[in-house]
Amino acid sequence: MRILMINGPNLNLLGLREPDIYGTQRLQDLEELITTHGEKLGVSIKCLQSNHEGELVDWIQMAFDKYDAILINPAAYTHTSIAILDALKAVGLPAVEIHLSDINTREEFRKWSYPSLYCEKTIAGKGFQGYIEGLEYLVEKYSK
């Protein structure tokens, strides 16, 4: 099974960025954790991060035929991007939405999520563990 993990804008600054909310570990730590956990589960993980909405859309489109499922934290685009929602719907791959912080207990504008209209699951507020849970959910349900 091949899984694409996509992280959106400002997540390249993990570790530096608002550590009280997002923690002190870096994106590289997250990518290593998920890749290693994927190996244990027998799946290969490709990790991508971009600050650009169109690039995220391109990668979701590219996943069609190349990956079996998507793990995505669209970051701030969660709350604004119909394009990301439409791309997920267009490719039709199983997808899980992850947020490090609990978007439901922060500012009002973070409570709305476009990708949640498509994603099978939204996991928020569990830090890196949320990615592990999302990965395990996808592997359990979809690995053949």
CA gap 129, 67 in Å, rounded: 22
Stretch that binds ligand DQA, among 24-32, 51-59, 100-108, 133-141 (CB under 6 A): 100-108
77 is catalytic: no
Should residue 103 be labelled a site residue for ligand DQA when binding is judged by CB under 6 A? yes
Amino acid at 80: T
Cβ proximity to ligand DQA: between 11 and 138 the closer is: 11
Should residue 75 be labelled a site residue for ligand DQA when binding is judged by CB under 6 A? yes
Residue 63 has φ and ψ, to the nearest 5°, of -65, -25
What does the block give as tokens for 85? 């929602």
Should residue 84 be labelled a site residue for ligand DQA when binding is judged by CB under 6 A? no
What does the block give as tokens for 134? 């999302």
Stretch that binds ligand DQA, among 23-31, 64-72, 83-91, 96-104 (CB under 6 A): 96-104
Give the side-chain half-sphere CA count within 13 A for 96.
24
Cβ proximity to ligand DQA: between 46 and 79 the closer is: 79
52 is catalytic: no
List the beta bridge partners of residue 98. 123
Cβ proximity to ligand DQA: between 68 and 99 the closer is: 99
Taking the complex as a whole, how short is the minimal distance between the CB of residue 74 and ligand DQA, in angstroms? 7
CB atoms within 10 A of CB 144: 4
DSSP state of 40: H
Residues that bind ligand DQA (CB under 6 A): 10, 73, 75-76, 78, 99-101, 103, 110
